[in-house]
Amino acid sequence: MSSVPSGTLLPNKWNAEHAAGLSEPERLLYRSNLLGSDLRITNFGGGNTSAKVWQKDPLGGGDVEILWVKGSGGDVGSMKLDGFSTLYMDKLRALKGLYRGEEFEDEMVAYLPHCTFNLNPRAASIDTPLHAYIDKPHVDHMHPDAVIAIAAAKDSRTITQEIYGDDIGWLPWRRPGYQLGLMLEAYFNDNPNSKGVVLESHGLFTWGDSAKECYDITIDIINKAIVWFDAKTDGVEIFGGVRHQSLDAQTRHSIASTLMPRVRSFIDASERKIGHFNDSDAVLEFVNSNKLNELAALGTSCPDHFLRTKIRPIIIDFDPKNPNLDAVIDGLADAFAAYREDYKSYYTRCKHDNSPAIRDPNPVIYLIPGVGMLSFAKDKATARIAGEFYVNAINVMRGSDTVSTYMGLDEQEAFDIEYWLLEEAKLQRMPKAKSLAGRVAVVTGGAGGIGKATCGRLLQEGACVVACDIDTDGLAGAVADLQGVFGKDQVRGLPVNVTSEESVIKLMHDSCAEFGGIDILVSNAGISSAAPIDETSLEVWQRNMDILSTGYFLVAREAFKIMKLQKRSASMVFVASKNGLVASPGASAYCTAKASEIHLARCLALEGAPFGIRVNVVNPDAVLRGSKIWSGEWREQRAKAYDMAPDQLEEHYRQRSMLKLSVLPEDIAEAIYFLASDNAAKSTGNVVNVDAGHAPSFTR
Q: Rounded to the nearest whole angstrom, what is the least distance from the CB of residue 649 to ligand NAD in the complex?
A: 10
Query: Contact 143/390 with Cβ under 8 angstroms?
Result: no
- Whose Cβ is closer to ligand NAD: residue 66's or residue 623's? 623
DSSP helix/strand/coil, 192: coil
Q: Is 390 a catalytic residue?
A: no
Nearest distance, CB of residue 520 and ligand NAD, angstroms? 16
Identity of the residue, 346 or 553, whose beta carbon is nearer to ligand NAD in the bound complex = 553
CB of 580 to ligand NAD, least distance (A): 8
What is the rounded CA–CA span in Å between residue 408 and residue 415? Answer: 12
Task: Between 196 and 456, name the residue whose CB sits nearer to ligand NAD.
Answer: 456
Catalytic residue, candidates 590, 642, 653, 673: 590
Query: % helix / strand / coil in the chain, to the nearest 5?
Result: 50, 15, 35
Give the nearest distance from C-beta 592 to ligand NAD in angstroms: 13
Nearest to 310 by CA among 437, 415, 200: 415
Sign of CA dihedral 96, 101, 102, 104: negative
In angstroms, rounded to a whole number, what is the distance separating the alpha carbons of residues 641 and 664? 22
Strands 464-469 and 491-495: parallel
CB environment 571-594: b (16+ within 10 A), e (fewer): bbbbbbbbbbbbeeebbbbbbbbb
Pairing of strands 196-199, 464-469: unpaired
Name which of 474 and 516 has its Cβ closer to ligand NAD.
474
| Nearest to ligand NAD of 385, 582 (CB atom) | 582
CB of 574 to ligand NAD, least distance (A): 9
* 69, 84 Cβ separation under 8 angstroms: yes
Residue closest to ligand NAD when measured from CB atoms: 448
Distance CA 93, CA 132 (A): 8
CA–CA separation, 507 and 558 (whole Å): 9
Which residues are near ligand NAD by CB under 6 A?
444-445, 447-451, 469-471, 474, 496-499, 524-528, 547, 551, 575, 577, 620-623, 627-630
Residue 68 contacts residue 50 (beta carbons within 8 Å): yes
CB of 448 to ligand NAD, least distance (A): 2
Measured from the CB atom, the residue of 75 and 691 that comes closer to ligand NAD is: 691
* Identity of the residue, 197 or 690, whose beta carbon is nearer to ligand NAD in the bound complex: 690
Give the nearest distance from C-beta 594 to ligand NAD in angstroms.
7
Q: In what order do the strands lie in the sheet with 464-469?
A: 491-495, 464-469, 440-444, 520-523, 570-575, 613-620, 687-690
Angle CA 35–175–184, to nearest 5? 65
Residue 587 DSSP code: B
Residue closer to ligand NAD by CB (options 142, 547) is: 547
Instruction: Return d(Cα 123, Cα 84) in angstroms, integer.
Output: 9
Contact 139, 205 (CB under 8 A): yes
Least distance from ligand NAD to the Cβ atom of residue 663, Å:
7
Cβ-based nearer residue to ligand NAD, 113 or 632: 632
Q: Distance (Å, rounded) from C-alpha 699 to C-alpha 580?
A: 11
- As a whole number of angstroms, the distance between CA 262 and CA 374 comes to 12
The CB-of-163 to ligand NAD minimum distance in angstroms stands at 58
Best CA proximity match to 329, nearest among 248, 245, 243, 261:
261
**Which C-beta is closer to ligand NAD: that of 557 or that of 628?**
628
DSSP for 44-99 reads TT--EEEEEEEEE-TTT-SEEEEEEEE-SS--TTT--GGGEEEEEHHHHHHGGGG-
CB of 247 or CB of 668, closer to ligand NAD? 668
Q: To the nearest 10°, the Cα dihedral for 221, 227, 231, 237?
A: 90
Q: How far is the CB of 495 from ligand NAD (least distance, A)?
A: 8
Strands 440-444 and 520-523: parallel
CA distance 669 to 375: 31
Catalytic residues: 590
